[in-house]
Amino acid sequence: MPSIFSKIVSGEIPSYKVAEDDRFLAFLDINPLAKGHTLVIPKKETDYIFDIEDDEYKELFLFAKKVAKSIGKCIQCERVGVAVIGLEVAHAHIHLIPINGIYDIDFSKPKLKLSQEEFQMIAQRIASKIE
Ligand code: AMP
């Protein structure tokens, strides 16, 4: 059965996309720790990130770097934090989270509730800065 993220890739489930190419996709986390919290995934489904083949692994992180630069340009933050958890969704993904301190990347914190319009606006802003 395809993962929920594969269903996002196929368009079966909607998402707030910020960047995409033939192999990778970045979209907003639906339960964000901060405005601009983004997930970067390989379109090819692999559960554990360290099982991804070397070339694809490198390209995934290069794609995430591009997305992180865009987030940094349009979301006020000290820097963009990076985390890989993977306990909830068994499809490898990188969390990119705008942070100003260590507590901003604490996954046990309550998540933000954003409106559809806010998600759309944030996704558009990040997408517009992708180079
Ligand atoms: P983890 O697997 O522990 O890294 O957590 C999975 C992350 O995916 C969580 O932060 C969820 O909020 C996020 N998530 C789950 N379903 C969706 C979805 N349909 N769209 C966007 N983000 C999602």
Question: Where in the sequence numbering do the catalytic residues fall?
Answer: 93
The domain that contains 67 carries what CATH number?
Answer: 3.30.428.10
Q: Ligand 1 pocket test: which of 7, 12, 39, 47 has the largest number of ligand atoms within 8 Å of its C-beta?
A: 39
- For residue 84 and ligand 1, the question of a CB distance below 6 A is answered with no
Share of the chain above pLDDT 70, in %: 100
- For residue 83 and ligand 1, the question of a CB distance below 6 A is answered with no
CB neighbourhood size of 78 (10 A): 11
CA distances (Å), origin 16, targets 11, 40, 57, 110, 122: 11, 12, 23, 21, 9
- For residue 38 and ligand 1, the question of a CB distance below 6 A is answered with no
Q: Can you give the pLDDT at residue 119? A: 98
Segments forming the whole domain that contains residue 8: 4-128
Confidence band, pLDDT 50/70/90 cuts, at residue 23? very high
Domain count, the chain: 1
